[in-house]
Structure 1
Amino acid sequence: MNYFFLILLVIVFLIVLSIVWSTLKTGISPMMSSSKACKTMLAEIDNHEKGLLIDLGSGWGTLVIAAAQKHPNKQVIGYELSWLPWLVSKILKYSLRLDNLTLYRKDFKSAELSAASTLVCYLFPEGMVALQEKLAHEVFNQVTIVSNTFALPSCQPTRVIRLRDFYQTPIYVYHWQPK
């Protein structure tokens, strides 16, 4: 009995340590989009757009899995740095048999985004700055960007949707045009 408790304690400690480490590395803990936010963001994704749909911080898989399910003919990619949320997403991907979904355990800042037609994200202010810089230097095609809560710092959104929740959470929609 004591060995079981000790093993369980070590596993819990490693899980907590993993989340703390990724939080310190990225500047934000892995957060799930609410069901209202997911539904609203999915409604903003155009079925007719060709190209990839990329989730820039796929976390526990809430949005990226829903996107892959809603768009079975579209290739969907998720990037997540935190080990445990990435693993949970991988397990869900395989259990749901989502062949159109690819999950990478890596930072979106080192990813190739130029083939994307749609980017979805729930980042944080510094992450949005990094995204804007990456878009300006590396993405030379039109891209729809749907962001939960945080705006691109110096871009005017095409539309802002306020959720009917306690925080009046904003969902920002952009149609990025390269300069």
Structure 2
Amino acid sequence: MISNALTLILLALILLILISIVTRSSKNGITPTPTSPKVKEEVTAIVKNYTPTTIADFGAGWGTMAFALAKEFPHTDIYAYETSLVPYLYMKGMAKLKGYSNVRILKKDFFTVRAGEFDLIYCYLFTGAMKQLSPMFASYNGTVISNTFALPNTVPTATKNVASWLGTTPIYIYK
């Protein structure tokens, strides 16, 4: 009897988590997607060329890129923006568990922040979000690194193509 009740509670919790992720994903237009290990490695190498003191991860998802940057740059303030509750809570727990004191995890829409607060902004979003961010980045003097999706009508300073299990992934760099 107790085992059946625990199983039902666990299944209900899993269902609520899935509903939460699907609901927020449909609103955001994309699911929280982890950055592949090879892309994470390449982005980290690119960031080393810029020595930023503040980095924003717009749409941080599960925090794979934010945590990689926090580990590689322990004296850099990393701001991870995520509006989906479950990934946000996951990041909060992982930051505490791993001891990343330089990561600020914010359940806040990145469209409401000022890009000028950061030296570098990392994005792994989707075409629609990049289009919406174009006006914000037009007057931005920092560096934008975008995984997979380019800023429309903007020529990148550089593009790196990374071979990964998903095929070839472009990384766009805007200065």
TM-score normalised over the length of structure 1: 0.91
Q: 1:30 to 1:48 in 2, by over 3 A?
A: closer
Partner of 2:168: 168
Gapped regions of structure 2 (runs ≥ 5): none
Q: 2:16 aligns with which of 3, 7, 14?
A: 14
User: Paired residue for 1:92, among 91, 94, 108?
Assistant: 94
**Does the aligned pair in 1 maintain the 2:156–2:174 contact within 8 Å?**
yes
Q: Which runs of 5+ in 1 are unaligned?
A: none
Q: What residue in structure 1 maps to residue 44 of structure 2?
A: 42
Percent identity between the two aligned chains: 34
Residue 80 of structure 2: aligned partner: 78
CA–CA separation in structure 2 for the residues paired with 1:162 and 1:110: 30
Distance in 2 (CA, whole Å) between partners of 1:50 and 1:69 is 14
TM score, norm. by length of structure 2: 0.93
Q: Distance in 2 between matches of 1:47 and 1:151?
A: 20
Deviations 1:38-82 (A, max 9, x none): 011111114654441000011001000110111111111000011
- Secondary structure at the residue paired with 2:145? strand
Counting matched residue pairs gives 172
**Structure 1 or 2: more helix by fraction:** 2
Contact 1:47/1:71, CA 8 A, preserved across alignment: no
RMSD: 1.4
Structure 1 stretches of 4+ moved >4 Å: none
CA contact (8 A) 1:51 1:115 kept: no
Distance (Å, rounded) in 2 between the aligned partners of 1:86 and 1:29: 13
Match of 2:124 in 1: 122
Shift of 1:167: 2.0
Q: Compute the displacement of 1:131 (Å).
A: 1.3
